[in-house]
């Protein structure tokens, strides 16, 4: 059996042992949960690594994404892990056309306000090269973002959720101490990535998501030195993958810094 290509040893083209369909054909024909799980294991490896076969699988997954939540999730997961220092830049660049199609599919899907909205929104972030937000964005019920203060270097916890919207110092015995309320960005202050994310959530009636994004792209006060910094700027600086410029330019249709 070939490692990671999602297939069985073929007794005839397109078939596995005893005429069984290969995994990609199985998920397309039957949409069986166990087959999708196995395909995911073969394409998305441990430690956020990818099988090279994941890129070959993208066209089929994007085609299935029109009707399959599992296909949307798996394609988004592949793109989320594809960028940065893992040696996938050239393979990703070869998928430019498919990624553009995926963006269109996801945008239309989000407008329908689906049950898998957050998963699809994160997939769209990956397709727009906002890999760090795709990996980190939650539903803002209990979201935490650890940051280093750009002025004094102390680790600041940013909390956005049902327990509050604040910056704090995290003490493992006492919890979050020295809390400071976050300062959300108004719609007029949002720029580029934050504006696009916020306006998409508002367009689709996702009020909690839009509200959380306004705090995520707003300002925080450091409890240690009382300086004020922009949450999204610092998180992006620390977590956005560094793409090779040539590879990024070759497939980027819309990149929000």
Predicted pLDDT of residue 52:
77
Query: Which whole number is the average pLDDT over 73-97?
Result: 74
Kindly indicate the confidence band of residue 169, based on its pLDDT and cuts at 50, 70 and 90. Answer: very high
Chain centroid to CA 17: how far? 36
pLDDT of 189 > 80? The answer is: yes
Give residue-wise pLDDT tens across range 210-236: 999 999 999 999 999 999 999 999 999
- Report how far residue 36's alpha carbon sits from residue 209's, in angstroms, rounded to the nearest whole number: 28
Q: What Cα–Cα distance (Å) separates residue 247 from each residue in 11, 39, 89?
A: 38, 27, 6
- Report how far residue 68's alpha carbon sits from residue 57's, in angstroms, rounded to the nearest whole number: 15
Give residue-wise pLDDT tens across range 120-137: 999 999 999 999 999 999
pLDDT of 243 > 50? The answer is: yes
Q: Are strands 219-221 and 175-181 parallel, antiparallel or unpaired?
A: unpaired
pLDDT of 2 > 50? The answer is: no
What is the value of pTM for the model shown?
Answer: 0.80
Predicted pLDDT of residue 51:
74
Query: Which whole number is the average pLDDT over 140-164?
Result: 95
pLDDT of 17 > 80? The answer is: no
């Amino acid at each position: 059996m070939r490692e990671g290509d999602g297939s069985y040893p073929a007794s005839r083209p397109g078939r596995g042992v005893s005429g069984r369909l290969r995994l990609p054909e199985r998920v397309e024909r039957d949409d069986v949960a166990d087959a999708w799980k196995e395909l995911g294991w073969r394409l998305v490896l441990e430690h956020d690594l990818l099988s090279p076969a994941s890129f070959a699988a993208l066209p089929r997954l994007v085609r299935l994404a029109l009707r399959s939540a599992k296909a949307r999730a798996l394609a988004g997961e592949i793109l989320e892990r594809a960028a940065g220092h893992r040696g996938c830049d050239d393979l990703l660049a070869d998928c430019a056309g498919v990624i553009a199609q995926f963006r269109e599919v996801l945008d239309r899907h989000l407008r329908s306000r689906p049950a898998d909205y957050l998963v699809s929104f994160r997939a769209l972030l990956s397709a727009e090269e906002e890999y760090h937000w795709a990996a980190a964005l939650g539903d803002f019920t209990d979201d935490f973002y650890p940051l280093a203060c750009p002025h004094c270097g102390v680790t600041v916890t940013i909390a956005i959720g049902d327990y509050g919207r604040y910056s704090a110092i995290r003490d493992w015995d006492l919890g979050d101490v020295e809390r400071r309320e976050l300062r959300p960005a108004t719609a007029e202050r949002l720029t580029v990535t934050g504006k696009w994310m916020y306006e998409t959530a508002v367009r689709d009636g996702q009020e909690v998501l839009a509200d959380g994004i306004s705090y995520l792209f707003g300002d925080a006060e450091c409890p240690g030195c009382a300086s004020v910094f922009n949450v999204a700027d610092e998180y992006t600086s620390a977590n956005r993958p560094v793409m090779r410029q040539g590879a990024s330019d070759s497939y980027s249709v819309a990149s929000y810094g």
